């Protein structure tokens, strides 16, 4: 079984073998290549110790990525290649033991997380598969190497990684592995929030995210307890609960901000005899969750906006749509409408409302495509033009520009330079 290996990766393998060391491609790059996917990165396992790897690649830039775990990153022609010494005996990230290194290839592979990630490859010796990873790939199955409990105790993040792989590859999780994941889920409390957040990002953008969410709310609830709201409040409406939220996630495009908003948009409620959503409180809760999991500020801000505004009423008024585009930006309005559509589909809203939404989407797309004026940058005049007719610097210019934009959006003045300057003169006289 042949795998296409980039020239720079072949060079790294060749340099190690020429120095008398064993060296193999391992992990996700082998898995992805066998699935005919383009590997994101390449990992090499070797019996060379870190000091020997440094000697072998002395003429290249080397980053001490995880020296305590025997891992270095070598940069070859701007391509990072992670090189790790074979794993040795038992270790546990829960008990803070440093992973021992220096064993053989089979010992290294038997300590990896799942069979589909426990294969090795070398261009000369071919594929090495001690644990039937190829069979599990063919069966689209995620199965622990050896005893699941032992693998999850070595690194609890593997529990979440299994969910991420199930979502991104649309694989099922083998029964014993799944049972152990639920049994040992509390070990995730020992994992750094940043690592948890990184897995959630990938999980939510996977094509199989909906099914994973339906089956794993108890696992996600270990580090996002807000998803497990106590009491009966969530049961007061059939449209609430993670089953509904998973449906919404499945209906929105695989865009991180949209998927996060779909998952979190029902947070926050007031129990006053009926289910009443409080979007302001829900947005605050979402911000707290995403900040805790170390999401980027830009993503957090977008998710907050989507949650705050996703319940905006439908409108077929061109003026109102333009005001909305001006206030929120075209990208955000498009995402809000995508989220509204997903919510309607999950709630099985009537066809009339879905038709209204489709008409609004069409109007938004036409306004954007036709470059109709709805923002200051699209106005036919700017601050320099207003200064040219004698307006003072500062607040007055900003106020007049906003008045002109309002007039253009409302159809009272054409978006033409001369007409706008005449109108600006009238504003200054009043």
pLDDT digits over 119-137, tens only? Answer: 999 999 999 999 999 999 9
Together in a domain, 38 and 127: yes
Categorize the per-residue pLDDT at 278 as very low, low, confident or very high, splitting at 50, 70 and 90.
low
Report which of residues 113 and 273 the model is more confident about: 113
Q: Are 114 and 7 in a shared domain?
A: yes
Say whether both 273 and 367 belong to one domain: yes
Among the ranges given (27-31, 169-173, 193-197, 242-246), the one the predictor scored with the smallest mean pLDDT: 242-246
209 CB-contact burial (10 Å; exposed 0-12 / middle 13-18 / buried 19+): buried
Work out the widest C-alpha separation in the chain, in whole angstroms: 87
CATH number at residue 77: 3.30.460.10
Express each pLDDT in 28-51 by its tens digit.
999 999 999 999 999 999 999 999
pLDDT in tens, 202-216: 999 999 999 999 999
How distant is the alpha carbon of residue 175 from its chain centre?
A: 27
Q: What percent of the chain has pLDDT over 70?
A: 91
Question: What pLDDT is attached to residue 102?
Answer: 54
CA distance 422 to 404: 10
Binned at pLDDT 50, 70 and 90, residue 233 comes out as: very low
* Domain span at 154: 141-219
DSSP line for 155-216:
-THHHHHHHHHHHHHTPEEPHHHHHHHHHTGGGGGGS-HHHHHHHHHHHHTSTTHHHHHHH-
pLDDT (average), residues 111-124: 96
Q: Residue range 108-129: average pLDDT?
A: 96
pLDDT greater than 80 at residue 94 = no
Residue 71 has pLDDT above 70, yes or no: yes
CA 267 to chain centre: 19
Instruction: Give 133 or 65, the one with higher predicted confidence.
Output: 133
Contact at 8 Å (CB) between 326 and 405?
A: yes
**Cβ contacts of residue 267 below 8 Å, gap of 6+?**
226, 281, 282, 285, 286, 289, 307
CB pairs under 8 A, 24+ apart, for 345-348? Answer: 345/247, 345/251, 346/239, 346/244, 346/247, 346/248, 346/251, 347/239, 347/244
Is 426 or 358 the better-scoring residue by pLDDT? Answer: 358
Which tokens hold the place of 309?
């505004």
The number of distinct structural domains making up the chain is 4
Per DSSP bridges, beta strands 23-26 and 42-46 are: antiparallel
Region 18-25 average pLDDT? 97
- Write down the H helix ranges in 252-382: 256-264, 279-292, 297-309, 318-328, 330-347, 351-369
- Is the pLDDT assigned to residue 277 strictly greater than 50? yes
CB contact at 8 A, 78 and 50: no
Split at pLDDT 50, 70, 90, the class of 239 is very low
pLDDT above 70 for 425: yes
Distance between CA 391 and CA 393 in Å, rounded?
7
**Residue whose token pair is 């009272």:** 412
Domain end, chosen from 219, 234, 266, is at 219
State how beta strands 275-277 and 269-271 pair: antiparallel
DSSP element (H, E) containing 121: strand 120-122
pLDDT per residue as tens digits for the range 288-314: 999 999 999 999 999 999 999 998 899
Which domain CATH number covers 199? 1.10.110.30
- Domain boundary residue among 372, 396, 415? 372
Query: Residue 326 pLDDT more than 80?
Result: yes
Verify that 361 and 423 share a domain, yes or no. Answer: no
CA dist 285 and 273 (Å) reads 22
**What residues pair up with 120 in beta bridges, in sequence order?**
26, 128
Q: Return the percentage of the chain with pLDDT > 90, whole number.
A: 81
- The pLDDT of residue 273 is 40
What are the Cα distances from residue 332, in Å, to 142, 153, 323, 335, 361? 37, 42, 13, 5, 13
Task: Assess whether pLDDT exceeds 50 at residue 189.
Answer: yes
Running DSSP on this structure, what letter comes out for residue 128?
E
Domain match, 368 and 250 both: yes
Among 13-27, 100-114, 146-160, 395-409, which stretch is predicted with the lowest mean pLDDT?
Answer: 100-114
For range 311-325, the mean pLDDT: 94
- How buried is 56 (Cβ within 10 angstroms: 0-12 exposed, 13-18 middle, 19+ buried)? buried
Of 90, 122, 139, at which residue does a domain stop? 139
Assess whether 296 and 321 both reside in one domain: yes
β-pairing verdict for 61-66 and 42-46: unpaired
Whose tokens are 């261009």? That residue is: 123
207 and 338 together in one domain: no
- pLDDT tens across 165-184, in order? 999 999 999 999 999 999 99
* Mean pLDDT along residues 280-287: 92
Q: Can you read off the two tokens belonging to residue 139?
A: 């069966």
**Taking residues 217-221, what's their average pLDDT?**
94
Structure tokens at 177: 């592995």
Grade residue 268 by pLDDT with cuts at 50, 70 and 90.
Answer: confident
Whether residues 166 and 233 fall in one domain = no
Residues 209 and 288 in one domain: no
Please tell me whether residues 195 and 229 are part of one structural domain: no
Q: What pLDDT was estimated at residue 325?
A: 97
315/380 same-domain check: no
Q: Can you spell out the DSSP letters for 4-46? A: ---HHHHHHHHHHHHTT--EEEETHHHHHHHTT---S-EEEEE
- The CATH number assigned to the domain holding 416 equals 1.10.246
Least confident of 71-85, 225-239, 406-420: 225-239
130 shares a domain with 27: yes
pLDDT confidence of residue 429: 64
Q: What is the mean pLDDT of the chain?
A: 90
């Amino acid at each position: 079984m042949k795998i296409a290996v980039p020239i720079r990766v072949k060079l790294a393998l060749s340099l190690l073998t020429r120095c008398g060391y064993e060296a193999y491609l391992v992990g996700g790059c082998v898995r992805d290549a066998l699935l005919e996917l383009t590997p994101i990165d390449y990992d090499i396992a070797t019996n060379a110790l870190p000091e020997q790897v440094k000697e072998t690649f002395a003429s290249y830039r080397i980053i001490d990525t995880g020296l305590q775990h025997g891992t270095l990153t070598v940069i070859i022609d701007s391509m990072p290649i992670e090189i790790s010494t074979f794993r040795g005996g038992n270790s546990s990230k829960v008990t803070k033991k440093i992973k021992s290194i220096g064993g053989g290839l089979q010992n290294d592979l038997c300590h990896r997380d799942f069979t589909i990630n426990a294969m090795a490859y070398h261009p000369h010796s071919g594929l090495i598969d001690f644990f039937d990873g190829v069979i599990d790939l063919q069966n689209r199955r995620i199965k622990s190497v050896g005893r699941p409990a032992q693998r999850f105790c070595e690194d609890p993040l593997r529990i979440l990684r299994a969910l991420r792989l199930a979502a991104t590859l649309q694989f099922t999780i083998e029964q014993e592995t799944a049972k152990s994941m639920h049994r040992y889920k509390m070990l995730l409390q020992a994992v750094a929030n940043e690592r948890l957040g990184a897995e959630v990002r990938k999980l939510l953008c996977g094509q199989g995210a909906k099914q994973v969410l339906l089956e794993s709310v108890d696992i996600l609830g270990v580090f996002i307890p807000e998803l497990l709201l106590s009491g009966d409040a969530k049961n007061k409406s059939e449209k609430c609960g993670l089953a509904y939220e998973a449906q919404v996630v499945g209906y929105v495009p695989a865009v991180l901000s949209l998927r996060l908003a779909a998952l979190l948009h029902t947070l926050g409620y007031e129990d006053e005899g009926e289910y009443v959503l409080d979007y302001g409180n829900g947005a605050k809760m979402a911000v707290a969750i995403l900040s805790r999991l170390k999401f980027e500020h830009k993503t957090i801000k977008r998710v907050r906006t989507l949650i705050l505004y996703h319940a905006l009423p439908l409108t077929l008024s061109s003026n109102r749509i333009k005001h909305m585009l001006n206030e929120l930006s075209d990208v955000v309005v498009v995402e809000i409408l995508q989220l509204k559509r997903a919510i309607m589909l999950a709630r099985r809203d009537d066809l009339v409302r879905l038709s209204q939404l489709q008409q609004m989407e069409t109007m938004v797309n036409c306004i954007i495509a036709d470059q109709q004026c709805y923002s200051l940058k699209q106005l036919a005049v700017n601050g320099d033009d207003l200064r040219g007719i004698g307006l003072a610097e500062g607040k007055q210019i900003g106020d007049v520009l906003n008045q002109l934009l309002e007039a253009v959006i409302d159809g009272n003045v054409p978006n033409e330079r001369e007409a706008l300057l005449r109108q600006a003169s009238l504003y200054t006289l009043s």
